[in-house]
Amino acid sequence: MVPAVKDSKGLRLLSFRYAFRGVRYMVRREPNMRFHLVAATGVLLAAAALRLPLTEWSALVFAITLVLLGETLNTAIEAVLDIVQPEHHDRVGVVKDLAAGAVLVASAGSVVIAGIVFVPRVWDLLT
C-alpha cells in the first residue's frame, strides 16, 4: 500500500525508493544479474584502460543497459507468471522462454558490440 503523499516531490521520492528496492532485489536474489554486473564492470574497466572515445563508450553503455533491462524485465515477467499460474502450464513456459530469449538476444548483441569496439584495439596492441 502506497502511503498518501500530498506533494508531487514526495511522490517522486517514493517512486525512486521503490525503484531502488527493485534494483536491490535484482542484485541480491538474481545470480544472472550479478553475472551481468560483473561482466559490465569488466567491460567498463577495459574501456577505461584503453581510453576509448566517447562514441565507443556510448555503444558499450547502451549495450550494458539493454542487457540489464532485459534481465530485469525477464525476472518481472517470471514473477508475475508464477503468481498468476503457479502450476505448470505449457503457454506460461513459452512466455518464460521468450522472456529469457530476449535476454539472450540482448546479451548476444552486446557481445557483438564489444567485439566491434575491443577487437581492433586489442589487435593494434598485439601487432
**Is 4 a residue whose pLDDT tops 60?**
no
Which residue type, as a one-letter code, is found at position 117? V
Quick one: pLDDT band at residue 9, thresholds 50, 70, 90?
Answer: confident
Grid coordinates standing for 86?
A: 503457479
Quick one: pLDDT band at residue 24, thresholds 50, 70, 90?
Answer: very high
pLDDT digits (tens, 9 = 90+) for 58-70: 999 999 999 999 9
71 is catalytic: yes
Q: Which entry of 56, 71, 78, 87 is annotated as an active-site residue? A: 71
Q: Can you give the pLDDT at residue 8?
A: 74
Quick one: pLDDT band at residue 18, thresholds 50, 70, 90?
Answer: very high
Q: How far apart are CA 64 and CA 20, in angstroms?
A: 18
Task: Domain ranges for the chain, please list them.
Answer: 8-126
Angle at Cα 59 formed by Cα 48 and Cα 30, nearest 5°? Answer: 85
Q: Has this prediction a pTM greater than 0.85?
A: yes
The domain 8-126 is placed in CATH, from the list 1.20.910.10, 1.10.287.3610, 3.40.50.2300, 3.30.450.20, at: 1.10.287.3610
pLDDT digits (tens, 9 = 90+) for 107-122: 999 999 999 999 999 9
For residue 101, how many C-alpha atoms fall within 13 Å in the half-sphere facing its CB? 6
